[in-house]
Structure 1
Amino acid sequence: MVKLSAKCIVAGDSTVGKSTLVQLFRSNGSHFLKNYSMTTNVDVVMKMVQLSDTGDSVETFWKGSCDPGNAFYYQLDGSVHTKQWDQPGCFCLVYDITNEASFNSCAKWLQKVRSKTSSPQLPGVLVGNKTDLLDRRAVDKMEAQEWAVRNGLEYFETSGKDLENFEQPFQSLAKAVHHMYQERMENFKSLV
């Protein structure tokens, strides 16, 4: 049995539901904050993800909730504080399906995350959150899926409030990290 470890960055605009999704995943859906205040420092959440098809596990360290209004995360030039974002093993971009500006910001977040790694293959997902508000949808699902594919990301839609699909993006990232590990081991074995 293999136990891996990966740091994941969860990024997106304020109030898109980053902390809620991470907390739901960590607590297996039993921790939804109805009266939520904006995160004022870095959320660091750890969870062991068991991969049922292999028996292996990936311990994930989720660092997220870097909101634009919080000077703690940003230097004067607007760049993300490097200590929190250096060398991620995977990432999750979150936007609010009722807020087109939050979707448009994903390009900026993607660029910032990718600038913090030396790896050419960094597993990532795009998450459209708040599907419980479908009647207020401002971002077309097909448009978001196409953007994700163009940028090498898997796409998911979730609702923290309704507990829909909140675990799928994180399970997908754990599997991708495990797959990258297996590929590296096979390459290493072929050299020996």
Structure 2
Amino acid sequence: MVKLSAKCIVAGDTTVGKSTLVQLFQSDGSHFAKNYNMTTNVDLSVKTVHIPDSGNSVELFLCDSPGKAIFYELTEKMWDQPSCVCLVFDVTNETTFNSCSKWLQRVRSKTSCPHLPGVLVGNKTDLACRRAVQKEHCQEWAENNGLEYFETSAKEMENYELPFQALAKAFHQLYQDRVESFKSLV
């Protein structure tokens, strides 16, 4: 049994639901913050994800980052050498989706790894009548940027665990690929 550790940067504009998604995942859906407190520094949460059919697990260190630009300089040191990235946007706000390019560029600039596993998460799907960004457009953008796409509703506690499970699986696969690569050298 192998237990891996991965630093996951959770990034996106303010009020998209990053902290709520992390809190729901970390607490297995038992904690939904009814009162919103703006994140002003990197909040660190840890959650172990078991990888099916392997006996292995990945301990995700979730670095929940503030979305306001004024806090970026304070938090960017915590972003050094990320293992994976989770970009979150609000499906009812096109500006938050458009900002994902900027967030992805910032995170990728902090790693020397050529392949950084990542997901794009469209949150607030419970507000379907106010949707401003179409799912197909999000899927295409994610694919073009080497990310997996997920839609969630933190408020309705729908699919909040799927992006993080996918990140753990992708990180584990990257590890497995490296092990196989080293074995082939011997």
- Which TM class, normalised by the smaller chain length? over 0.9
Are residue 181 (structure 1) and residue 175 (structure 2) matched? yes
Counterpart CA distance in 1 for 2:138 and 2:38 is 25
Partner of 1:88: 82
1:134 is the counterpart of 2:128: yes
- Verify the 8 A CA contact 1:40 1:70 in the aligned structure 2: no
Letter in 2 for 1:114: R
Match of 2:14 in 1: 14
Report the RMSD for the aligned CA atoms in angstroms.
Answer: 1.1
Cα deviation, residue 65, structure 1: 2.4
Q: What's the counterpart of residue 125 of structure 1?
A: 119
- In structure 2, list runs of 5 or more residues that go unmatched: none
Secondary structure of the residue aligned to 2:67 is coil
Letter in 2 for 1:102: T
User: What amino acid sits opposite 1:19 in the alignment?
Assistant: S
> Which residue is equivalent to 2:96?
102
Tell me how far 1:52 sits from its aligned partner.
2.0
The whole-number CA distance in structure 1 between the counterparts of 2:114 and 2:34 is: 39
Residue 55 of structure 1 deviates from its aligned partner by 1.2
Measured in 2, the distance between the counterparts of 1:52 and 1:41 equals 33
With the length of structure 1 as denominator, give the TM-score of the two structures: 0.94
Match of 1:50 in 2: 50
- In the TM superposition, residue 128 of structure 1 has moved relative to its aligned partner by 0.1
List gaps (5 residues or longer) in structure 1: 76-80
Number of corresponding residues: 186
* CA distance in 2: counterparts of 1:25 and 1:82, whole angstroms: 23
- Cα distance in 1 for residues equivalent to 2:176 and 2:73: 36
Quick one: percent identity of the two aligned structures? 68
Q: What is the rounded CA distance, in whole Å, between the counterparts of 1:69 and 1:154 in structure 2?
A: 25
For 1:74, the equivalent position in structure 2 comes to 73
Instruction: Determine the C-alpha separation between the residues in 2 that align with 1:67 and 1:130.
Output: 16
- 4+ runs of 1 displaced by more than 6 Å? none
**Aligned counterpart, 1:27:** 27
Distance of 1:28 and 1:64 partners within structure 2: 17
Using the TM superposition, give the Cα deviation of residue 66 of structure 1 relative to its aligned residue in structure 2, in angstroms: 2.2
Structure number with higher helix proportion: 2
TM normalised by structure 2 equals 0.97
